[in-house]
Structure 1
Amino acid sequence: MVARNVGLALALVVFAATRAGAQDPGQTMPNPQAMQMQVQRIAEQRPREAEAAARAFLNLISMQRGQGSVETNVAWLESLKANDLGAYWQEVAQLTVQFDVVQNLVRRDSTRAALVTQLFGLEYMARTLQRAYRAAADTQREQIRSQIEKVIAAHFDYENQLRLFEIKDIERRLSEVRAETQRRLDKRAEFIKFAVDDIIRDAVRPR
C-alpha cells in the first residue's frame, strides 16, 4: 500500500505540468484519482496483457539515462512476483497505467514524454527501494535512505524541467492574449460598427 502511494503522490506533479502542455485541448491527461482507480482495477483483475505492458515499459525506462539496465529493472519485478504476488500485481498495474500515459503523451509532445518517462522510472526505483528499506536490517537502512534521497532529488530536478515548460506555455499564451487584446483596441471603432450593423440587420430582417 505504501509503495503504491509513493508512485501516486509523485505523479501528482507530473500531471500538473503535462496537462498544460497538451497540444490538443480536447484530450487531457488523466487525473491522479482516475489513475489510481485504473491501477486498482488492474491489480484486482490481473489481466495477463498488463504483465507484458509493464515489462515493455521497464524496457523503455531502461533506455533513459541513469535508469539502470533492463535486466536489473525486470529482475526487481520478477523478485517481487516470487515473494509477494499482491505487491507484484500492484506494481504491474502501476507500470501499465504509467505506460499508457506516456504513450498518449508522446504523440503530442515527445520532449515532455521523455521527461515523464524519467519521472516514472525514478518512481519505480523509489518504490523498489522503499520495499528494500522495509525488509532491511537497521545497519542497512541508512544506506538505502541515501539512495532514496538521490532518487527523489533527481525526480525533483526532472519535475522542475516540466514546470519550466509549463511556464513557457503560460507565457506564450499570455503573449497571444495580449496581442489579441491590443488588436481589438486598435480596431475598436470597427468592432463596434460591425456589432451595431449586425444588430440592425437582424432587427429589419423579415420574420
Structure 2
Amino acid sequence: MLLPFLLLFLLIIPHHPFFIEYKTISYFVSSNSTLYGLIIENITNIYSNDTVKFEFYLINLNYSEYIGPMIEFNNLSSPTILYYFPQVGSNIVQRGSLVFQLVGDKNGCYIYENVQHPVSTVSVVTYYYVNDSGIPSKIVFLQYGLNGLVSNNTYILYSSNLINSNEKIYFPSGLQKVSRAFSLNAFEHEVENIVFSVILLGIPVLLLFSKKKYYNNS
C-alpha cells in the first residue's frame, strides 16, 4: 500500500520553488475579539531528499505588522511547519509527531482530524480540509477549556502557484517589520507540553508579537 502513495507523492510535488499563502481569522471567545492575518510560506529550494527550504512570514493585519522572513527546513514526506499534507486519501496521515485520522469528505476535500491535550484542562482539535493537490484549502484549530470553546483559529487558502501557476504572493504595503528573530523549529519539541506555544498545531504565531496589544485592548 505504501508504494502507490509514494508514487502519487512524487507526481504531485513539483521539484521547483512554489508558495502557499493563507488568510488567518482568530476569534477569542472571552473578549469577543478577532485577529486577522496572513501566513506566507515561500519555498525557495527543494533538495533531492525531499527536504525543502522556505521563507515563513507572519502578518498581523489588525496592526499592520509582520515578522519574517524566518528561514525554515521541512521534509515533504512528514512536514511539521509547512502546510502541505502528504499521502492524501490515506486513513492515517502523520505530520511530524502528530497523527491525523480521516473523518470524512466535503466538496471534494478530505477532512482529517487530530486531537491534542497539552494539559488536562485544555484540548486542541485540528481539522485539515485537503484535496488531491496536498495543499489544504482550509485548516481549523479549535481550543477548548473547562468552560467550552476558548478560540477558533481558521486558515483559509488565499493563493498558491501550485493551484494556479499565475498566482503571485500578496504582501500588503505599509507594514511595519517587528524586530524579533526566532525559529519555528525551536518550538517543535515543546508543542505537546506548552499550550500557547502550540505553533505547529496552529494557534497563530501572530500572538507572539500582537498579544500585548490584544490584551491591552480586551
**Which structure has greater strand proportion?**
2
**Which structure has greater helix proportion?**
1
Larger radius of gyration: 1
Same-fold status (TM-score > 0.5):
no
* TM-score normalised by L of structure 1: 0.28
